[in-house]
Structure 1
Amino acid sequence: MHRRRFLTALAAAGLGTPRLAQAVADSDTLEIIIDNRGWGSASSADVRAVTLSAANEVWQNCPGQRIKPVHIYHRTDFPQTDFGHDWRGRIRIGLNSEDARWAQMAFQFGHEFCHALAQHSAIALHGWHPGRHSNLWFEESLCETSSLFVLRRLGVTWAQNAPYETWRSYAPAMAKYASDRLAKPEHQLPADTSFLAWFRQNEASLRENPVLREKEVIIARQMLPLFEAEPAGWAAMAYLNIGAHQPGKSLSQHFTEWQNYSPQALRPFLGRLTALFSGPV
């Protein structure tokens, strides 16, 4: 989740465009490859089952889109979606979860897979942004939303059809991980403050620092009901970063470009989503 430190360093070094190998092709079928080391008591097959299950809660809502295989490896510091692909052209995502912490693993991967859609899907690769820009906080907020969405969906999905029958008992832990995060005091709006008023007070700090997690969970709380009511909205993630590469562009311009580049069918949903930040149109 602190991947932007790496991205900013790349940008400073003049490496603003990732080097992509051509050994693997984009596919409409999601393929996940797991490194064998670092997962504690969990096997690589276990990690693949959790991450594939988590990704599918979002990916199933993106019909017709294509993406390269995802190569997942273990990190000891923080989760991260790498800027560049591996030597075979696969998307690299690092997680710092291990053992049977399935809810934590799904939470982390739900966030990072959202970044993968926004930056590495076949559509998104037409619109690479610099490593840091003024509306990066919005992508981070969407990825926080994705984590919560995935956990709450897995709470239902695993109760009915977990990857393994013995894992059905973990379903309540998925939902609880999300509810515990939403219940934290720092993730609540201040008393007697509307979201729109709060956002106008905090937008400048978010544009300055795109990784303000407490604020981004507050934003995610507002977006989550929209995605849960209309999961097809996740298909819009691939179009998020297609637009003018202006690091300091306004939020309204960013939203306008997002809508303009997205398919017509997604625009009503995007209108409802962006209205959260501007009030009724």
Structure 2
Amino acid sequence: MPFVTTPDGVEIYYTEQGTGQPVVFSHGWPLSSDAWQVELKKFADAGYRAIAHDRRGHGRSEKTYSGNDMDTYCRDLNAVVEALDLRDIILIGHSTGGGEVVRYAAQYGQPQGRVAKVVTAGAVPPIMVKSDANPDGLPIEVFDGIRAGVLSDASQFWKDLSESFFGANHGRDVSQGAKDDFWRQGMLVNLAAAYDCVKAFSETDFTEDLKALTVPILICQGDDDQIVPIKDAALKSIKLVKDGTLKVYEGAPHGIQGDYQQKLDADILEWIKN
């Protein structure tokens, strides 16, 4: 299997398909590059070099106890990009991965001249947790509850979370297979990495990263996202970027699945061509 070694010695797994302009996908928590299997084929079929990596501690990457924070995730992504010498990159990130690609683009990709465009879907920026500076955010108790669930019975927690992740609890048609695959990917993540990543996706402030972006960004989100509320995410992020396009999907959940996935992929392919 292909791996890249980060500056601090961690083995990061990646997969790629196709040739052409590179499209780099960054997955959400607690998933892996497997979450992008459909997109890897679709984008490769469309003439792109589609690449996805497993974040440290997730999937087939090294099971890490340390470095499970957003700055380190971005350094890891930079290690992959440099090892493959990628240029003119389209960055696509979902959920936690949306935060990762925004920070990577602002702090690495743009200064190095490597990034052409950014796409986020259900992404965590600007910041999720409630504070005096972010009174509309989710209370810290929400994230404490997630940590407690991961620590006490991760297997059952992933099963329960799949219901709201894909919107099955709101009546969306979600197969048992999709829920099972969410559970499978969740069970691959190292417990320490899963636990620490909650702080990374909920407490990292991406405000300045969004403001620093000069490349075009497509910000996508479902208006029935139960994991990352759209009013605290896409609707705020679009006001902070210089060259942004907002796409809201009526009734769509957090998880990229079903008709939402089909529409989202088609819209992204169309947007990056223009």
TM-score (norm 1): 0.28
TM-score (norm 2): 0.28
Indicate the structure with greater helix content.
Answer: 1
